[in-house]
Structure 1
């Protein structure tokens, strides 16, 4: 095979172009701090880094959901606490009404106070959460959870759905409770047993002919059942909040692991890169000088 002058020129030019490209690539690595700038730099590392990045993104979304879930459960726990206070107060007033020395007017005064508590409890039952949804309406969160019927009965208008969020790869956590569960709505009629019990007690206190002893006993028993129900729900909410703390710690640990793995796959060894950059500069300069001597091109005379 005969070697022509053109072939010598092309070979020298191509060599310098490759060396210049290598030098630029090393400069880009040094400026970015990344060893892998494109998949061809290390196909295996690039593929693995993509997988880890996607996993990290999913983990970040779980952490975001955990934050939303914590806020929702904290709001729910606070609301359940308010319900507990009202039910406890109703029970206390029922115990007071059991005083056999009370007159009808005193019973009516207690009834008036209980009516205010009834209305306050109804307001809580139709409270909205931070996102503007009715907290106790189940999946029907765009409408009030409870309404008052023509006879004064309180009817549950929501459903039994438990709104939930995915807070882990295998964990979908309820962040709300349906009002039918909290206020013990009758599945057949939708009428709330809690509101019904308070309403019946108020009516008995206002009726001079009613058996106050029986009404008081019934009211205390009804409030005990309602309080036990709410206490059970609050305990469940508390357990979920504790679980969220554990999931948050686990997600943070995963974040750290993902960051370390990405660093191992992508980050640049600066000592090696600087040494390589210096070597590439030296090789490129030597190639340019050699090309000038071989070809005698005036352009390289000016550059040298």
Structure 2
């Protein structure tokens, strides 16, 4: 077989070019620390890198969403705690007005404090998160969901929805609560009914604590009463009850409900018990109404109006007692919301912890596929560099050889 000089040159050149390419690849791996810099380095590995980077990016987005949701919920929880503190102060003032014999100056002073608290509650209800979004507007874009009218009444401009954040595949968490449920649609009385002394009463009767003692009897009675009752007092503290249509309320034996009231005692029928104190005048009444709602701003306004009206101690006590019930209902609603927020924060924390663990796992897998073994790469670089130098030296010697050198 005849070996031409040109063929030997071509083979030597091709071999050196291949060694240079391999050396360049290894140099790139050493400088970047990555085994796969282009897809051709390892097509299968490159596919794995793309998939792992996609998963890591998705988890990072979920983590950012969790951080944002956590901030919003913590802001809401802090705001509701502040609202509760204001309501505690309002409740204390209401009890102070009930328990003491106050002068008009004292009453006006308490009314002034309550007015400031009402303004503070409006401000807190219009709180925003770190992005400037209203906390309690639901899904509405209203920046001030609670608006104060010219007559001092507060209206709600938001809706009943909840904003949600995607924190996982198919998993969404509510990041706020509607102000309608927290501040506006508050059940009156004990949550089932409200018992109120008649505005035209002339005695000293004060309606106290009341409750449902037999849910089945209460439900059955409410279904036939037309939505409420009226208790009317006669001479000698006798009383009788009528339904919303004015018909006498009957007991299980078909006899009219009634009896004689004792100061400090309770009147009970149809599964409810109403504590009272004082002495009613003949013709005084107590109304029982079911299913009412009242916003917390109206509650404070009612307290302010009662203090400024100049009414009797009995009238003030009756009004304040009903408003204290409304404050208690509001605080119960806020407490339930805070418990729900705590549950959501626990879910977010658990989800974030899961993503942190998964990120370590995926980063390790990505490193195994993509990163180069530094020790091996440096060793290969040294060997390839030496081999290339040897090839270059051999080629230099070969290209200078000819037949004349051999004859010589």
- The structure number with the bigger radius of gyration is 2
Show structure 2 runs of 5+ residues with no match: 187-292, 403-408
Distance, in Å, in 2 between the alignment partners of 1:297 and 1:206 is 120
2:356 paired with 1:252: yes
The aligned residue for residue 43 of structure 1 is: 43
Offset, 1:240? 1.8
Map 1:1-304 onto structure 2 (within 5 A): 4-99=4-99, 101-185=101-185, 193-209=295-311, 211-296=315-400
Decide whether the 8 Å contact of 1:65 with 1:165 is kept in 2: yes
Q: CA deviation at 1:253?
A: 0.8
Conservation of the 8 A alpha-carbon contact between 1:83 and 1:124: yes
- Higher RCO (CA 8 Å, separation ≥ 6 residues): 1
TM, length-normalised to structure 2: 0.67
3-state SS of paired residue (1:98): helix
CA drift at 1:293? 3.5
Return the alpha-carbon distance in structure 1 between the equivalents of residues 326 and 104 of structure 2.
23
Provide the residue aligned with 1:302 in structure 2: none
Aligned-residue RMSD, C-alpha: 2.3
C-alpha distance 156-8 of structure 1, shift in aligned 2 (>3 A): same
1:158 and 1:297 map into 2 onto residues whose CA distance is 94
The structure with the greater share of residues assigned to strand is 2
> TM-score normalised to the size of structure 1?
0.88
Worse-superposed segment, 34-43 or 205-214? 205-214
Deviation at 1:286, TM superposition (A): 3.0
Per the alignment, in what secondary structure is the counterpart of residue 183 of structure 1? helix
Within 2, Cα distance between the matches of 1:221 and 1:275?
82
Number of residue pairs matched by the alignment? 294
1:20, CA displacement in angstroms?
0.8
Kept after mapping to 2: 8 A contact 1:162/1:174: yes
Moved more, 256-265 or 203-212: 203-212
Gap runs ≥5 in structure 1: 299-304
Comparing both structures, which one devotes a greater share of its residues to helix?
A: 1
Deviation at 1:237? 1.4
More off after superposition, 15-24 vs 96-105: 96-105
Q: Distance in 2 between matches of 1:167 and 1:129?
A: 18
Q: Is the 8 A contact 1:183 1:194 kept in 2?
A: yes
Deviation at 1:4, TM superposition (A): 4.2
Contact 1:135 1:141 in 2 (8 A): no
